[in-house]
Amino acid sequence: MKTSYKPILTSPKSKIVFKWVTHQSSPAESGIMEDLGLSVAAYSVFGSIMTVGGMIGAILSGRIADILGRRVAMLFSDIFCTFGWFAIAFGKDVLWLDLGRLSIGFGIGLISYVAS
């Protein structure tokens, strides 16, 4: 019997990513706003758009897991979270920050059903 360790490692990692992404932007608010010249409204969208991505990911997670399987759904979650981190890390304007947070939210919403 062949054992795959990726699902075992992916499940706790997704919870760490979620906790880190929700807590890392709060203390850095003034620095992010100053460096990128964001208004309070633009930063508020950046702070809350991950919730929208999470809702979309959670709605689609059951269907994706049923059609493609849990492992593939976990792989998609990893891809969306990785893209999101790169978009936030290397983005130089508000569009990339928002797309990154939306992507991470989608990945977290997707893994919430699959890893449970």
Q: Block means of pLDDT (10 residues each) for the chain, length 116 residues?
A: 57 61 64 81 86 93 92 90 89 89 92 80
Structure tokens at 65: 């897991």
Residue 51 structural domain: 6-114
Residue at 16 is within a domain: yes
In angstroms, rounded to a whole number, what is the distance separating the alpha carbons of residues 79 and 83?
6
Give the position of tokens 């991470």: 104
pLDDT of residue 24: 61
DSSP for residue 1: -
Number of independent structural domains in the chain:
1
Distance of CA 31 to the CA centre of its chain: 21
What does the pLDDT read at residue 106? 94
Residue 20 maps to a domain: yes
- Does 35 map to a domain? yes
**Residue 15: predicted pLDDT:** 61
- φ, ψ at 38 (rounded to 5°): -85, 145
Q: Is residue 1 part of a domain?
A: no
pLDDT of residue 83: 93
Distance CA 32, CA 52 (A): 21
- pTM to 2 decimals? 0.78
- Please give the structure tokens belonging to residue 108: 């977290």
Q: What is the pLDDT of residue 91?
A: 84
